Chains A and B, each alone.
Chain A
Amino acid sequence: MLTAAGCFSRNYRSIFCAIVLIAWLGFPEESFAYLDPGAGSFAFQFLIAAGMAALFAIKMFWARIKAYFRGEKDVNAQPPSKPTADANISVSELKSDSPASLTGPDKEES
C-alpha cells in the first residue's frame, strides 16, 4: 500500500543518496579497464535503486492526486495511447501507463 508518509520518507532517503553520490563524484580517476563497463553499470543500479523507486512512487502518487481532482475514477482504466514515431508521444505513453504499477505485483522497497 502506498502512503504519502511512505513516499516522503523515501524522498528523504533519495536526497541523502544523492548527496552521497555527489560527494563521491569528486575528480575523475584513471584506471585500466579489464572488466567490461557493465560491472559498474550493474553495481550503480543498486546504488540508485532506492532513489529511483522513491521518485517513481512520488510521481505515481501525484498522478493519482491529479487524476482524483480531474474527476478520473481510475487512471488505470485509460486505454494506452498509440505510440508513433514521435519520441514525446511514446514517452508520455510510458508515463501515463505507469500508474498501473501501483496495483501491480511489485513490492515496497525493503
Chain B
Amino acid sequence: MTEKSVRGSFRDPDGFVFTRGGSFYRQINRSYKECYDRLIESGLYKRLVEDDLMVPHEEADPAFRVNESAYKILKPETVPFVSYPYEWSFGQMKAAAAVTLTIQRRALEAGLCLKDASAYNIQFVRGKPKLIDTSSFGLYKEGAPWVAYGQFCRHFLAPLALTSYTDVRLARLMLVHIDGIPLDLAEKLLPRTTKLRLRLLVHIHLHARSQRQFANGAPSEKRASASMSLRAMKGLIDNLASTVNLLVWTPAHGAWAGYYEDNSYDATSLGEKRRIVSTFLDDVTGGWVWDLGANTGMFGKMAAQKGFQVVAWDSDPQCVEICYQEACRENETNILPLILDLTNPSPSIGWESAERLSLLERGPADVVMALALIHHLAIANNVPLDRVAEFLARAGRRLIVEFVPKGDPMVEKLLSTREDIFGDYRRERFEEAFGEYFTTDRMEPVADSGRLIYLMSRRA
C-alpha cells in the first residue's frame, strides 16, 4: 500500500499528514517527541478531546511511517468536510478564535503553548470548531512571549474587527492573504475611531506599528533579553479573549436574508415546494448534500433533519450567519453553513496552488440542491444553461434542481433592468441542456407557480 503526501501539509518540521489506503494519517517526527509525550501524559489531550476542542486520534501501526524521522503514526478522526476561514461567517470565525484561545490557556497550564494559531488548524466537526493539528504545541518556556500572537491577530482578530467595524466583505481578504490579513492593512481599513478602543488600539494599531518598527532589524539586545511572565502571558490571552468576545456583527435584513418572507412565494407554494423537496430527498441515498444558494438554510436544514450531512453554501454573509446562529441555537450539528460566490467559487490557493482545495476538489457531493438558483446564474450572470449543467454534474452525483420560468415574478424582476437576450431560457432548452449530463428521475410542478422541480442523476 502506498502513502501519498497531502500537498497542504509541509511547513511543520515536527510532522505532516499523509494518506494511506484512502485514510488520513499524521506522522509525528522524533523532533516533536517531548511535546507529544507531554500533551498525552499531562492529560491535556484527553481534556481537549473530552471537551470537543480537538479531534481525537488513535496511535496507528508504526510500520505506516513514511520515513525514518517518525516517532508516532496517528490516525486522526476524519474531518467530514474541510472548510476555510474565507468561507466562514462572522460567528464561525469568532467561535474558532475562542477555541484557539481556550486551547492556548489550557496548554499553558500543562506547560505547553500553541506554536501556531492558524485559522486553518481549526475545522468544524458536527457544528463544533476543533483543533485538527496535533503537532501545534510547543514547550512553554517561562519568559518567552507567545510565538503565535501575530498569527492569531492576522488570522482571527483582523477579519473579525474589519467585519465588525468596517465591512463584512473585507473578511474575504483572508482569501488573498493566506497567512492572515496583514495588520498594517487592517489598520488602514479600520475606522480611526477604533484607536479609541483600548483593546483594538493595542492588538491591531500599536501591534502593526511595532511590526513596522522592527521590519528592518531584529529587536535590540535589551529587548531580546526581556521576558514575559506567565501572568503576563495569561493576561494577554485573557485580553485577546475579551477583545474577540466584544466584537459583534449583527446581520441586517439584507438583500437575501428575508428572501422567503419577502418574495413571491405564498404559503401554499412554499409548502408545496417543501413537500416535493422532502419527497425527493427520501428517494436518494448517500451522506453529503451541498445546498447551493442555500439562503438561510431552509431546505438544507430539512436535509440535515433527515440525517444528511449538509454544506449550505450562500454568497450572502448575512444569510450564512443567520443559518449558523440558528443551527447553534437548535443544536443542529448536521449542517455547515459556508460563504461561497458560485460565480467565483473558492479556488485552490497557496504554494503550488495546492495548499487549500477549490470547491470542486472537495466534492463531489452525493446530492446537490440548486433551488431557485438557475435563473440567477443564467440570467443575472449570463451563464449558458449547458455550462450550468456541466458545473452541477461536476459538483454532485444526484441533483435536485428547480427551474423558474420566464413570467415568474422573480425572473421578471431580474429582466426588468436588462434587455432580454435570454431566448434560450425556457423549459425545453433547460431540459435539453441538463439532459446532456443528467437523466431525469422525477419531476413535479410547484402548484400554480409555473416552477418545476427535478430529481436527476448524473450520467455515467
B210 within 8 Å of A (CB atoms): yes
Pick from B145, B215, B241, B244: contact of A46, CB under 8 Å: B145
Interfacial residues, chain A to chain B (CB-CB below 8 A): 18, 21-22, 24-26, 28-35, 37-57, 59, 80, 82-88, 90-95, 97-98, 100-101, 104-110
Whether A45 lies near B149 (C-beta < 8 A) is: yes
Pick from A26, A28, A55: contact of B184, CB under 8 Å: A28
Whether B241 lies near A83 (C-beta < 8 A) is: no
Whether A40 lies near B216 (C-beta < 8 A) is: no
Pick from B127, B207, B232: contact of A49, CB under 8 Å: B232
Whether B228 lies near A83 (C-beta < 8 A) is: no
CB-based A-B contact count at 8 angstroms: 208
* Contacts of B144-163 to chain A: CB distance below 8 A: 145-147, 149-151, 153-154
Whether A46 lies near B239 (C-beta < 8 A) is: no
Residues of A within 8 A of B99 (CB): 83, 90
Whether A85 lies near B209 (C-beta < 8 A) is: no
B95 within 8 Å of A (CB atoms): yes
Given contact pairs A51-B202, A109-B232, a sample of 15 additional A-B residue pairs in the complex whose CB atoms are under 8 Å apart: A18-B198, A29-B212, A31-B216, A32-B215, A35-B214, A37-B182, A49-B226, A52-B232, A83-B51, A85-B127, A90-B102, A91-B245, A105-B230, A106-B230, A107-B231
Whether A83 lies near B235 (C-beta < 8 A) is: no
CA of A12 to CA of B53, assembled, Å: 37
Smallest Cβ-Cβ distance to A21: which chain B residue: B206
Residues of B within 8 A of A107 (CB): 142, 229-231
Contacts A33-B215, A52-B235: A44 and B127 contacting too (C-beta < 8 A)? no
Smallest Cβ-Cβ distance to A54: which chain B residue: B235
Distance in Å: Cβ of B95 to nearest Cβ of chain A: 4
B33 within 8 Å of A (CB atoms): no
* Secondary structure type dominating chain A contacts: helix
Query: Which 7 pairs between the two chains have the least Cβ-Cβ distance?
Result: A56-B235, A41-B150, A40-B211, A52-B235, A45-B145, A106-B230, A44-B210
Whether A91 lies near B229 (C-beta < 8 A) is: no
CA of A82 to CA of B242, assembled, Å: 18
6 pairs across A/B with beta carbons < 8 Å?
A40-B213, A48-B202, A52-B236, A84-B52, A95-B241, A100-B109
B187 within 8 Å of A (CB atoms): yes
CA of A52 to CA of B234, assembled, Å: 8
Residues of A within 8 A of B146 (CB): 45
B379 within 8 Å of A (CB atoms): no
Smallest Cβ-Cβ distance to A52: which chain B residue: B235
Interface centre among A40, A50, A88, A92 (most CB of B within 10 A): A40
Whether A37 lies near B215 (C-beta < 8 A) is: yes
Pick from B52, B98, B151: contact of A94, CB under 8 Å: B98
Residues of A within 8 A of B127 (CB): 85
Interfacial residues, chain B to chain A (CB-CB below 8 A): 51-53, 91, 94-95, 97-99, 101-102, 105, 109, 124, 127-129, 142, 145-147, 149-151, 153-154, 182-184, 187-188, 195, 198, 201-202, 205-207, 209-219, 223, 226-239, 241-242, 244-245, 328
Whether A88 lies near B245 (C-beta < 8 A) is: yes
CA of A25 to CA of B127, assembled, Å: 40
Interface centre among B147, B154, B198, B211 (most CB of A within 10 A): B211
Pick from A34, A37, A56: contact of B211, CB under 8 Å: A37
Whether B231 lies near A93 (C-beta < 8 A) is: no
Interface centre among B146, B202, B226 (most CB of A within 10 A): B202
Whether A28 lies near B98 (C-beta < 8 A) is: no
Contacts A25-B195, A93-B102, A106-B234: A39 and B94 contacting too (C-beta < 8 A)? no
Residues of B within 8 A of A30 (CB): 212
CA of A83 to CA of B52, assembled, Å: 7
Pick from A35, A49, A86: contact of B95, CB under 8 Å: A86
Whether A49 lies near B229 (C-beta < 8 A) is: yes
CA of A56 to CA of B187, assembled, Å: 26
Residues of B within 8 A of A37 (CB): 150, 154, 182-183, 211, 215
Whether A87 lies near B232 (C-beta < 8 A) is: no
Residues of A within 8 A of B217 (CB): 35, 39
Distance in Å: Cβ of A45 to nearest Cβ of chain B: 4
Residues of A within 8 A of B150 (CB): 37-38, 40-42
Whether B228 lies near A49 (C-beta < 8 A) is: yes
Pick from B142, B195, B231: contact of A109, CB under 8 Å: B231
Pick from A24, A56, A106: contact of B209, CB under 8 Å: A24
